[in-house]
DNA sequence: CTAATAGTGTCTATGAGACACTATGAA
DNA sequence: TTCATAGTGTCTCATAGACACTATTAG
């Protein structure tokens, strides 16, 4: 056979999104090795031993953020296999994952001595990232924007207990829109099994305290949270 | 390192869906080699040379159906990497693709001497397929059902020119529902850039001839075609 | 004409959005 | 009290669905 089966190594790359001071941010690291030394990149690592890619992704997520992957939203975005995406041999094919995290205290710089930091997604998209990570980032963000409409993933951006205003901020930041507070409140509280009231309240010092909710068992949002036609994205 | 980088081979497996006499059908082949000799499986093949997985999938699709992948709907479903999914070494990880095809004259049995055939999806899901192909099939069908709501993929099931009734059959078969003819007609003809009238008509011998349409440039369906709450799936 | 399928009109119920209004806390 | 934010009521408009009706072919 002129073109035999190709052997490759696999990586899982992570697009870890969170919201920090009103911006949608992504975790980037500075590459410590060739290729692309010193260039910002998405965190990720090689499939090792007899892991599955999901396990690789969960392990990398724990290493980068200190968070248990079991408690976070983690899903595949797609697999990127262009032959020239990575100059190493054997070829490196990557499976990209989208992770959604609540606002973390601060990135754990230095678990493997690489500088890590949260970068607003808009800035990251204007930066030249290593490999095909610009494409991966764009695809992952688009996936997150779409999923917000139909799936109950917004609470993944929040702490375990959150207010309706917290949840609304997720939509507003990720979509780049303003939503009507009263209507939003009704929509999410009416969506069956989406939110579970805890009975507790949280006061921000100003104004009436807001009721606290936890994420409910629903995975789908019915009816969907329609993205306004004038959304920025 | 106790668990070094794992080298793997990659396959692209295809879930090729079409509609045949009122059933949603999937193309299956009988495996001619170990492992799982003689067992029905999804068509697929190894990444070779310096191709990308998309090219592998397109090549396999052309080999199995004789159709040019450029003209067909082809999208990734996900990557399946459980270490025990395939007993061979080096490990085999697969990237599953969903392809949607118009009703084809008949499967090209024998391009590589394996029996191939269209199997109703419901039957295939009750059959034990090779590898993790039952899981892949289920995921792909669910993806197709979801995408019908929001993306303009339904014409991929039809010939290049089709009637509104053809299009409605796609939805009814894939979702297992009956849709109101008048309302469906309005919805799809009102969706901007979804359908392009050709001016031609097609008569089935009975009744008023139906106008023929071609697929338009839109990729999204706005507003979405909501799946009835009583849909079978 | 009738039979059969394509396509339109129109009414009703439901959900989205605008926005006035009430509720509850802190200073 | 005032200020600020949480949450409710209610009106209007757009869309979904039910279904009566008209249109166009074959025989």
* DSSP 8-state code for residue A209: P
pLDDT value at A79 more than 90: yes
Q: Show the tokens assigned to B214.
A: 């071609």
Looking at the complex, report in whole angstroms how far the Cα of residue A78 sits from the nearest Cα belonging to chain B. Answer: 6
Residue A2 lies in a domain: no
Q: Which two three-digit tokens encode residue A230?
A: 């004038």
Domain annotation covers residue B139: yes
Residues A115 and A51 in one domain: yes
Whether residue A82 sits in one domain with residue A15: yes
Confidence of residue A67 (pLDDT cuts 50, 70, 90): confident
- What mean pLDDT comes out for the span A115-132? 94
Neighbours of A60 (CB within 10 A): 23
Q: What angle do CA A225, A175, A77 make, to 5 degrees?
A: 85
Domain assignment present for A228: no
Domain shared by B21 and B114, yes or no: yes
Quick one: B47 and B131 in the same domain?
A: yes
DSSP A155-206: GGGS-SSB-HHHHHHHHHHHHT----HHHHHHHHHHSTTTEEEEEEEE--SS
Domain count, chain B: 2
Tell me which of A2, A3, A47, A82 to substitute to probe the interface with B (most B C-beta atoms closer than 10 Å).
A47
Q: Does B204 touch chain A (CB under 8 A)?
A: no
Rg (alpha carbons) of chain B, rounded to whole number: 19
Q: What are the residues facing A24 on neighbouring strands?
A: A19
| Cα-Cα-Cα-Cα dihedral sign, residues B186, B187, B192, B193 | negative
Residues A116 and A167 grouped into a single domain: no
Residues 98-157 of chain B whose Cβ lies under 8 A from any Cβ of chain A: none
| B179 and B204 fall within a common domain | yes
pLDDT of residue B113: 44
CATH code of the domain containing A127 = 3.90.79.10
Task: Please indicate, yes or no, if residue B181 is contained in any of the structural domains.
Answer: yes
DSSP state of B107: -
- A171-216 confidence digits (pLDDT tens): 999 999 999 999 999 999 999 999 999 999 999 889 999 999 999 9
| Contact (Cβ atoms closer than 8 angstroms) between residue A175 and residue A233 | yes
Which pair of tokens denotes residue B61?
């699709």
Structural domain that includes position B101: 8-150
DSSP-derived 3-state class of residue A9:
strand
CA A230 to CA B17: how far, in whole Å?
36
Q: What is the pLDDT of residue B232?
A: 79
Distance CA A27, CA A117 (A): 6
Is the domain of A142 the same as that of A52?
yes
Mean confidence (pLDDT) of chain A: 93
Distance (Å, whole) CA B102 – CA A143: 28
Q: What is the pLDDT of residues B102-149, one digit of tens each?
A: 987 666 555 554 678 999 999 999 999 999 999 999 999 999 999 999
Residue B136 (CA) to nucleotide D21 (C1'), in angstroms, measures 47
Q: Does the distance separating the beta carbons of A48 and B1 come in below 8 Å? A: yes
Closest chain B CA to residue A151: B146
Residue among B39, B56, B36, B43 at smallest CA distance from B16: B43
Q: Is B27 a domain residue?
A: yes
**Does B2 fall in a domain?**
no
The residue of chain B with its CA nearest to that of A220 is B146
Looking at residue B169, which CATH number applies to its domain? 1.10.10.10
Instruction: Name residues of chain B where pLDDT drops below 50.
Output: 1, 113
CA of B203 to C1' of D25 (A): 8
B125 and B167 within one domain: no
Residue A194 lies in a domain: yes
Two structure tokens written together for A138: 């764009």
Of B6, B50, B54, the CB nearest to A48: B6
Residue B34 structure tokens: 């170990």
Average pLDDT, chain B: 93
Of the listed ranges A70-79, A91-100, A188-197, A223-232, the least confidently predicted one is A223-232
Residues 136-165 of chain B in contact with strand C via CB under 7 angstroms: 163-165
Please tell me the predicted confidence (pLDDT) of residue A7. Answer: 97
B13 forms beta bridges with B44, B96
Q: In degrees rounded to 5, what are phi and psi of residue A106? A: -175, 150
Q: B202, exposed or middle or buried, with CB in 10 Å at 0-12, 13-18, 19+?
A: middle
* Contact assignment for B52 to A6 by CB distance below 8 Å: no
Across all strands, nucleotide nearest A180 (CA–C1'): C17
Residue A196: strand pairing partners: A214
Q: How many CB atoms lie within 10 A of CB B64?
A: 25
């Amino acid at each position: 056979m002129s073109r035999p089966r190709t052997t490759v190594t696999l990586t899982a790359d992570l697009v870890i999104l969170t919201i920090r001071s009103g911006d949608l941010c992504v975790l980037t690291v500075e590459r410590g090795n060739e290729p692309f030394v010193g260039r910002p990149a998405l965190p990720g690592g090689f499939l090792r031993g007899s892991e599955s890619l999901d396990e690789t992704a969960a392990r990398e997520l724990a290493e980068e953020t200190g968070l248990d992957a079991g408690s976070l939203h983690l899903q595949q975005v797609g697999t990127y296999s262009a032959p020239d995406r990575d100059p190493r041999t054997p070829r490196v094919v990557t499976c990209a994952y989208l992770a959604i995290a609540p606002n973390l205290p601060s990135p754990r710089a230095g678990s493997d001595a690489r500088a890590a930091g949260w970068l607003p997604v808009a800035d990251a998209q204007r930066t030249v990232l290593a490999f095909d990570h610009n494409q991966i980032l764009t695809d992952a963000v688009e996936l997150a924007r779409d999923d917000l409409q139909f799936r109950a993933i917004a609470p993944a951006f929040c702490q375990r207990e959150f207010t309706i205003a917290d949840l609304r901020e997720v939509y507003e930041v990720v979509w780049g829109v303003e939503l009507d507070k009263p209507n939003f409140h009704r929509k999410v509280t009416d969506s069956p099994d989406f939110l579970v009231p805890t009975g507790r309240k949280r006061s921000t010092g100003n104004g009436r305290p807001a009721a606290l909710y936890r994420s409910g068992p629903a995975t789908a949002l019915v009816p969907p949270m329609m993205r306004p036609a004038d959304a920025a994205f």
